[in-house]
Amino acid sequence: MDIENLDTDPRCQTKRECWRCDATRQAEGDWYYARQDGEDSFAVQPSQKPIPANGIAVVHYASSGSAMLAADVPGLCRVLSDNGWLLVLQALERNICAIKVTGGNITLRHVTVLSTIEEYNQMTKLGRFYIDETIRPLTHNGGGM
Residue 121 belongs to a domain with what CATH number? 2.60.120
Helix (H, G, I), strand (E, B) or coil at 118: helix
Expressed as residue numbers, the domain containing 59 is 18-130
The count of domains in the chain is 1
* Residue 69 included in any domain: yes
State which residues of the chain have pLDDT below 50: 132, 137-145
Q: Distance of CA 135 to CAs 17, 53, 82, 95, 145, Å?
A: 25, 23, 21, 25, 11
pLDDT digits (tens, 9 = 90+) for 93-120: 999 999 999 999 999 998 989 999 998 8
With respect to residue 135, please indicate whether it lies within any of the assigned structural domains.
no
- Asked if residues 108 and 16 have their Cβ atoms less than 8 Å apart, the reply is yes
Q: What is the pTM of this model?
A: 0.86
Q: Is residue 38 part of a domain?
A: yes
Predicted local distance difference test score (pLDDT) of residue 130: 55
